[in-house]
């Protein structure tokens, strides 16, 4: 990309799987030049992750958008030397090697900063640097378990429930992306040097789940699973409609909760002390749930939504993927544009978020093939001649 708010920024994405590569993806949507570094023997495992079409990883196609892909064997000393060369002209490098491997390979921030004091390095690990578990392998599933998320998710009588998507990786990636922007602001506005950003898969998600810790610390109780209910608002649940669909509702604001009771024909409850005051509503959440469930069960999704939208109640249908891409609100905003692709012909992906009025994000292309930009990066950027590039290929370095 040649424009965008991050035009002129160079990012080296030498991480694998989800959290680290997502950071580079989001930066690349807004103009940063992203060079994706992958092992020659198969590349980022994300290429083989999840659903495939004709051997092409669909998730890779989206996460690999706008990136220039090169191969580089970091297990080879010459490969690590080339990575150091790449970082000399970079603003940001993203790595997710174990701390001991970074030290052994001479790729810690202090090592790379010798050749580029302004370099911002993001180091993504399962547990964070330091501590007894710092060198253990970690994945998002472990972060979702240890953050407290799984403990709170699911039915009260059922097991802890893990998400079927990359929640911990995504939250860590988002956290690290805004951390990169703060580090660059410190460097470029305040005249500071680059620095190391230490991010793991537990703490960012745990930050969103802080209330149980506050409750335990101050009240000595450990919150448990409540299904789709939540102990801060009522009504708050999903309800089955007459035609077999699910509808979600939130009564987080007292005015919305009262509107919901009025909409289902129970206006008298809006002045009943058991339901009119927030804390009392929580104590009687089961009764409110039953009232809502009974009313919704007798109506189709369309009938129930018509009533709730007219009454300005916070309710929404529970969408599957087919319904999501068909929603008129999302279609009007072109949330899922169709992007041409050499391998797939075209593919519908989600547009960049957030949206800027003057410098919107863009999708120039989807994930490239393995090593597609080797000649451009090693030849044009690093200045290696054809003979040297051939030697590196023969040695298994690139």
CA distances from 268 to 82, 254, 263, 274, 275 (A): 73, 15, 11, 11, 10
Tell me whether residue 169 is one of the annotated catalytic residues: yes
Q: Which of 13, 169, 198, 289 is catalytic?
A: 169
DSSP 143-188: HHHHTSHHHHSS-TTS-----SS-HHHHHHHHHHHHHHHHHHHHHH
CA distances from 74 to 5, 15, 83, 179 (A): 31, 11, 8, 26
**How do beta strands 338-341 and 345-348 pair?**
antiparallel
CA-based Rg of the chain, rounded to a whole angstrom? Answer: 25
Rounded to 5°, the CA angle 361-28-74 comes to: 170
Nearest to 362 by CA among 331, 334, 392: 334
Containing H/E element for 22?
helix 19-28
The gap from C-alpha 92 to its chain's centroid, in whole angstroms, comes to 19
Rounded to 5 degrees, φ, ψ at 345 are 85, -60
Rounded to 5°, the CA angle 149-152-158 comes to: 120
Classify the phi-psi angles of 193: left when phi > 0, otherwise alpha if psi is within -120 to 50, otherwise beta.
beta
**How do beta strands 67-71 and 33-38 pair?**
parallel
Nearest to 120 by CA among 83, 137, 95: 95
Angle between helices 301-310 and 254-263 (to 10 degrees): 130
Q: Which residues are catalytic?
A: 169
């Amino acid at each position: 990309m040649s424009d965008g708010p991050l035009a002129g920024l160079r990012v080296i994405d030498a991480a694998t799987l989800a959290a680290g590569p997502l950071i580079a993806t989001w930066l690349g949507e807004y103009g940063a030049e992203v060079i994706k570094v992958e092992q020659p023997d198969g590349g980022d495992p994300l290429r083989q992750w999840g659903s495939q079409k004709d051997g092409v990883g669909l998730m890779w196609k989206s996460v690999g958008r706008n990136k220039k892909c090169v191969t580089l064997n970091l297990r080879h000393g010459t490969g690590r030397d080339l990575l150091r060369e790449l970082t000399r002209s970079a603003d940001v490098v993203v790595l997710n090697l174990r701390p001991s491997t970074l030290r052994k390979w001479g790729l810690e921030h202090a090592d790379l900063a010798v050749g580029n004091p302004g370099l911002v390095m993001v180091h993504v690990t399962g547990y964070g640097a330091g501590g007894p578990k710092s060198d253990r392998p970690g994945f998002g599933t472990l972060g979702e378990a240890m953050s407290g998320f799984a403990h709170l998710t699911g039915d009260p009588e059922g097991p802890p429930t893990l998400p079927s998507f990359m929640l911990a990786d995504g939250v860590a990636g988002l956290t690290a992306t805004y951390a990169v922007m703060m580090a660059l602001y410190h460097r470029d506005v305040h005249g500071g040097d680059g620095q190391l950003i230490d991010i793991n898969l537990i703490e960012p998600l745990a930050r969103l789940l802080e209330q149980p810790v506050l409750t335990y610390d101050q009240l000595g109780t450990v919150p448990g699973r409540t299904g789709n209910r939540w102990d801060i608002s009522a009504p708050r649940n999903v309800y089955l409609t007459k035609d077999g669909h699910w509808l979600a509702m939130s009564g987080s604001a007292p005015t919305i909760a009262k509107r919901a009771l009025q909409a289902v024909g129970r206006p008298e409850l809006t002045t009943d002390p058991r339901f009119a005051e927030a804390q009392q509503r929580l104590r009687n959440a089961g009764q409110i749930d039953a009232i809502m469930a009974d009313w919704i069960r007798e109506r189709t999704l369309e009938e129930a939504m018509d009533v709730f939208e007219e009454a300005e109640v916070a309710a929404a249908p529970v969408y599957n993927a087919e319904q999501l891409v068909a929603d008129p609100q999302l279609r009007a905003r072109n949330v899922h544009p169709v992007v041409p692709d050499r391998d797939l012909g075209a593919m519908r992906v989600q547009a960049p978020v957030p949206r800027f009025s003057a410098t919107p994000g863009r999708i120039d292309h989807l994930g490239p093939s393995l090593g597609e930009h080797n000649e451009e990066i090693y030849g044009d950027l690093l200045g290696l001649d054809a003979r040297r590039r051939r030697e590196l290929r023969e040695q298994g370095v690139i």
